[in-house]
Chain A
Amino acid sequence: MRLSPLTKAIFIAGMIPIIIAIVFPFAVMIATSLKTSGEISGTATGYAFLPHHPRLANYVEAFERMPLARNFANSLIIATGATLLNLLCAVPAAYSLGRLQFAGKRAVLFIVLTTQMFSPIVLIIALFSQFTNYGLLEGGRVYIALILANAAASLAFSIWLLTGYFATVPKEIEEAAFIDGCGRLQTVLRVILPVSLPGVVTTVIFAFITAWNEFVFALTFVSSDQYRPLTVAIPSFVGQYAQQWQYLMAAALLATLPVVALFLSVEQHLVRGLTAGSIK
């Protein structure tokens, strides 16, 4: 449809400030991560948004000054563990919900939806005292606590998304595999999962990003610096390494880039899954 010149002008005039506001913090992150501390405080030269001589060494020094490598490893352990546990629970459940007829199926789907209504923040006090009782927050066991909590937090969405994908695999393909002598498990692994690959990849990436970006569980469960993931470590550096914003912004950018890339790669499938319930 053609837009009138006036409408077009209004659209562009309205979008420019919105896009600038959305992008501004990312531009700040990149620009600041390349500055010297003198440039940031602006004491010598006055304020400039862009660095005079972009300083890539900040990225190396950030790792030397802050325990970033450790925080990255922790985020990776927690997010990977949570993703695996999430899949291990969601794939079998979604298989039955998507492909089998059984009593109580609608009730199960309804329960899956209602679990999405509980925000982690409402559960956190009870979970904290429960996990303390079980000794799950001591030492390295805190990984287990975080993996359990994160896997549960994204489970409903994974089941929902996978059920939709599994349900659309044509029955003939499955039956052909049965006739070829494949057992049920083999059929799932060799036929259903490969055919639903876009759905599985989207689920993996979504579960991973959710756990990677998670804050409330990690903030509450982790008491020792050793086990902190990036989301807890980076804000805490603000006070600890004040006046060294260039390192903080470098760390923030490095923590963000991989998930942004992953996110944009599956965004189309993600939106389809997220809006499946609300759009006919």
Chain B
Amino acid sequence: MSRIRTHLIAYITLIPSALLVVGIIFYPIARTFYASFSEVDRKGNPGAFGTLANFRAVLGSSVFRHQIIPQTLIWTAAVVIVTIVVSLFVAVVLNERLAGRRLMRALIMLPWATSLVISAAVWEFILHPTQGPLNGILTALHIVSGSGPAWLARPGLAFVCVIIVGIWVSIPFTSIVLLAGLQSIPDSIYEAALIDGAGGWRRFRTMTLPLLRPVLLVAVLLNVIYVFNSFPIIWTLTQGGPANGTHIIVTYMYQTAISQRDYGQGYAMAVLTFLFLLVFSLIYTRFHAKEALSPE
């Protein structure tokens, strides 16, 4: 078969995917960037180009600077750190030949297969102040008196609750990725250590962790991106309230653009989100994960 024919076939087969990706991903991205520097009408269409008014409005707002940004950073750091630590433990345990390993693995994966909003709706019920199982159990065990706290009604408490649910949904994916990483470490390496008489904890610190490092670094990066962009849990549980106390950038962006029809600020926040993650990924891969992201 001729080279030209091969090329022709290859490019034709790429056309459907190219159309879909350009229309649904690249064009909207370009439009978002363009519109963020433009005057934007009430239907989200960009008008005159060349203004920083949208960014000024976003960055000039004290809610954005004093609530949204710190909360986004706390949310991301808290969810990612706890998720990684718990998932690492889960992965190490599931990597051993324990009885019931297959069942535990299947159970751990349940939240991953479940829609985030449905999980969040169930958690909303669990945390319901008067009818929820959490307060039901706490009251039955006499841990709280009366009917128990209104978990999602106080800003600080609500924020802790959404973070816990955020961790709950993040554990399955992270555990399974780390488990796959552990399983790729050959047993022969441990056997050598066993002869040397290295104990369990020392073996974990001096052998498992360094060998798992590339996978661990990728898991952290992916989690940061997912969690930073995570919308359904907070939107379902609190819609960012009370008093903006559980908003992160993406939920605040959605409320500003879609609910309040202030598209200009919405576009600016989308660009800030995108740039933040881009810069973070670049710095992160530069300083930490060169070995993890290189193809070989």
A1-B190, A102-B6, A155-B21 are contacts. A279–B13 as well, Cβ < 8 Å? Answer: no
Q: Which partner residue on chain A sits nearest B184 by CB separation?
A: A279
A77 to B26, CA, bound (A): 26
Return A50 CB to nearest CB of chain B, in Å: 11
Contact A278 B16 (CB under 8 A): no
Chain B contacts with A in 122-139, Cβ cutoff 8 A: 122-126, 128, 130-131, 133, 136-137, 139
A263 part of interface (Cβ distance < 8 Å): yes
Contact A47 B24 (CB under 8 A): no
| Partner among A7, A235, A256, A279 whose Cβ is within 8 Å of the Cβ of B114 | A256
B150 part of interface (Cβ distance < 8 Å): no
At the interface with chain B, which of A59-67, A145-153, A195-203? A145-153
B121 part of interface (Cβ distance < 8 Å): yes
Contact B115 A231 (CB under 8 A): yes
A122-B274, A255-B115, A264-B113 are contacts. A102–B44 as well, Cβ < 8 Å? Answer: no
B25 part of interface (Cβ distance < 8 Å): yes
Contact B24 A127 (CB under 8 A): yes
Chain B contacts with A in 1-45, Cβ cutoff 8 A: 6-7, 9-14, 16-17, 20-21, 23-29, 31-32, 35, 43-45
Q: Mark A254-273, 1 if CB is under 8 A from B, else 0.
A: 01100110111001000110
A100 to B172, CA, bound (A): 36
| Partner among B26, B110, B130, B177 whose Cβ is within 8 Å of the Cβ of A278 | B177
Contact A40 B131 (CB under 8 A): yes
Which residues of chain B have C-beta atoms less than 8 A from A29's C-beta? 122
B194 part of interface (Cβ distance < 8 Å): yes
Contact A122 B115 (CB under 8 A): no
Chain A contacts with B in 72-125, Cβ cutoff 8 A: 85, 88-90, 92-93, 95-96, 100-103, 105, 108, 111, 115, 117-119, 121-125
Contact-size category for A: 35 or more
Contact B96 A3 (CB under 8 A): yes
Contact B13 A93 (CB under 8 A): yes
Contact B231 A216 (CB under 8 A): yes
Return A250 CB to nearest CB of chain B, in Å: 12
A220 part of interface (Cβ distance < 8 Å): yes
A262 to B267, CA, bound (A): 37
A267 to B109, CA, bound (A): 9
A133 part of interface (Cβ distance < 8 Å): yes
Contact A96 B122 (CB under 8 A): no
Q: Which partner residue on chain A sits nearest B281 by CB separation?
A: A117
A276 to B277, CA, bound (A): 23
| Partner among B7, B11, B171, B263 whose Cβ is within 8 Å of the Cβ of A22 | B171
Contact B119 A95 (CB under 8 A): no
How many CB-defined contacts (below 8 Å) exist between A and B? 276
Which residues of chain A have C-beta atoms less than 8 A from B257's C-beta? 125
A25 to B263, CA, bound (A): 37
| Partner among A19, A125, A238, A264 whose Cβ is within 8 Å of the Cβ of B258 | A125
B232 part of interface (Cβ distance < 8 Å): yes
Interface size on B, residues (CB 8 A): 102
A14 part of interface (Cβ distance < 8 Å): yes
Contact B130 A215 (CB under 8 A): no
A184 part of interface (Cβ distance < 8 Å): yes
Contact A212 B121 (CB under 8 A): no
A248 part of interface (Cβ distance < 8 Å): yes
Interface residues in chain A, defined as those with a beta carbon under 8 Å from any beta carbon in chain B: 1, 3-4, 7-8, 11-12, 14-15, 18-19, 21-26, 28-29, 32, 40-42, 46-47, 49, 85, 88-90, 92-93, 95-96, 100-103, 105, 108, 111, 115, 117-119, 121-130, 132-133, 148-149, 151-153, 155-156, 159, 184, 209, 212-216, 219-220, 230-232, 234-235, 238, 243, 245, 248-249, 252, 255-256, 259-260, 262-264, 267, 271-272, 274-275, 277-280
Selected A-B contacts with CB under 8 Å, 26 pairs = A11-B93, A14-B89, A15-B90, A18-B90, A19-B104, A25-B119, A85-B20, A100-B9, A125-B32, A125-B258, A125-B263, A126-B29, A126-B44, A155-B21, A184-B9, A216-B232, A231-B115, A234-B117, A238-B121, A245-B128, A248-B125, A264-B113, A272-B180, A277-B218, A278-B292, A279-B215
Apart from A22-B110, A235-B121, A263-B112, 5 more pairs, CB < 8 Å: A12-B98, A22-B107, A100-B10, A119-B225, A125-B270
Interface residues in chain B, defined as those with a beta carbon under 8 Å from any beta carbon in chain A: 6-7, 9-14, 16-17, 20-21, 23-29, 31-32, 35, 43-45, 86, 89-90, 92-93, 96, 98, 104, 106-126, 128, 130-131, 133, 136-137, 139-140, 168, 171-172, 176-177, 180-181, 184, 187, 190-191, 194, 199-200, 214-215, 218-219, 225-226, 229, 231-232, 235-236, 250, 253-254, 257-258, 263, 266-267, 270, 273-274, 277, 281, 292, 296
